[in-house]
Copies of this chain bind each other. A is one copy, B any other.
Amino acid sequence: MQPIKLALGSLLLAVSTAAAQANADVLRDNANSIFKPIPEQASDQLDPNQIELGRQLFFEPRLSASHVISCNTCHNIGTGGADNVPASSGHAWQKGARNSPTVFNAVFNVAQFWDGRAKDLEEQAKGPVQNPVEMHNTPKNVEATLSSMPEYVAAFGKAFPSDKQPVSFDNMARALQAFESTLITPDSRFDLYLKGDDSALDAKEKKGLQTFMSSGCISCHNGVNLGGQAYFPFGLVKKPDGKILPSGDKGRFEVTKTQNDQYVFRAAPLRNIALTAPYFHSGQVWDLEEAVAIMGTAQLGKQLNAEEVGDIVAFLKTVTGKQPKVEYPLLPPSTATTPKPVD
């Protein structure tokens, strides 16, 4: 009987391996029907001259009235594309109303800002520059600033060769959009898994992915950015406490003035979430476990247990991608006609 027993054992092993493989494939197939990997580039239509100009402008403190605050101040490319404080410090140390969202992969969001009030990165870029509590500047002063430096005049001319007046506030925003579109983070372990590398996630992470899908998180957090694609009320089932969801900030309602949009926000994209604490638009939760648990009660009406939370967090840590490498740009010197900084 020995040979038959052995043969049967081998057969059973083969069957169970095949079944495990099938299960693995099911999990991945399900995941692939909900998520998408970050592509190698956001678009093949980006103009290298606009990208290069945008890189300078992204680090350009003279876009702010004080000459101290640049895009990178609040969207720091060394720390996940955000500043990782509850609310940014802007002009004269005034605080922003909401937590600064990451610029990484923002190109894949349906719209920009927590309330989606800018349709794209170009429109977004104009906001903070003019916001009195952020960069406190004006389009006119920005144009005067950029026009005062021959190197910028040349760079705008090269980036927007068919424009009669290449140096403009609009083109500043276009160049920033071009550069920011390169700030993407492909090749996270989760993306490698989606593409077929089964060993990219360990058992706990796969369990977390399974829980993330089966618990309903994916109703809002799906697509390439695991979020960022649609708007949902924060506190759909149960409102979190007033520190996390301050009553004064009605979210998208402030954009649409529609009652249904009270406390509605764009679902946070979860790419690189392990790098960008504190969480939520209020930036009041530092711990990812805590944030996941709050989402459970607030959005799903579920008290996720410690194991479920731990598994989901293990999964979320696999969506940290390859961070962009950027050479710090050289910025042209101010000239006699450059507007002076303002306190």
Contact code string A60-88 (vs B, CB < 8 Å = 1, else 0): 11000011100001001111100111101
Please give, as numbers and ranges, the residues of chain B lying within 8 Å of A83 by CB-CB distance. Answer: 61, 67-68
Taking a contact as CB atoms closer than 8 A, the residue among B78, B84, B85 that contacts A329 in the complex is B78
Q: How far is the CB of A280 from chain B (nearest CB, A)?
A: 16
What separation, in Å, do the CA atoms of A124 and B95 have in the docked complex? 30
* Known contacts A68-B83, A73-B68, A336-B287; is-contact A328 B331 (Cβ 8 Å): no
Interface string of A329-343 (1 = CB under 8 A from B): 111011010001101
Contact B78 A331 (CB under 8 A): yes
Question: A327 to B326, Cβ gap below 8 A?
Answer: yes
A286 CB–B CB distance under 8 Å = yes
Q: Does A323 contact B (CB under 8 A)?
A: yes
- A86, A333, A343 — most chain B CB neighbours (10 Å): A333
Partner of A93, one of B60, B77, B93, B329: B93
Instruction: Say yes or no for A11: interface residue by CB 8 A criterion.
Output: no
Residues 21-64 (chain A) with a chain B CB within 8 angstroms: 56, 59-61
Tell me if A89 counts as interface (CB < 8 A to partner B).
Answer: yes
Q: Is A275 an interface residue (CB 8 A)?
A: yes
Residue-wise, chain A 300-321 has the 8 Å CB interface mask toward B (1 for contact) of 0000000000000000000000
Query: CB distance A66 to B78 under 8 Å?
Result: no
A340:B77 contact, CB within 8 angstroms = no
Which B residues are in CB contact (< 8 Å) with A203? none
Q: A277: CB under 8 A from chain B? A: yes
6 closest residue pairs by CB, A with B: A93-B93, A78-B331, A85-B341, A326-B328, A275-B333, A92-B93
Binding site for B on A (CB under 8 A): 56, 59-61, 66-68, 73, 76-80, 83-86, 88-89, 92-93, 95, 274-275, 277, 286-287, 323, 325-331, 333-334, 336, 340-341, 343
Return 18 A-B CB contacts under 8 Å, by A number.
A56-B78, A60-B78, A66-B85, A67-B83, A67-B85, A68-B88, A68-B89, A78-B330, A79-B333, A80-B333, A84-B334, A86-B341, A93-B93, A275-B333, A286-B336, A286-B340, A326-B327, A326-B328
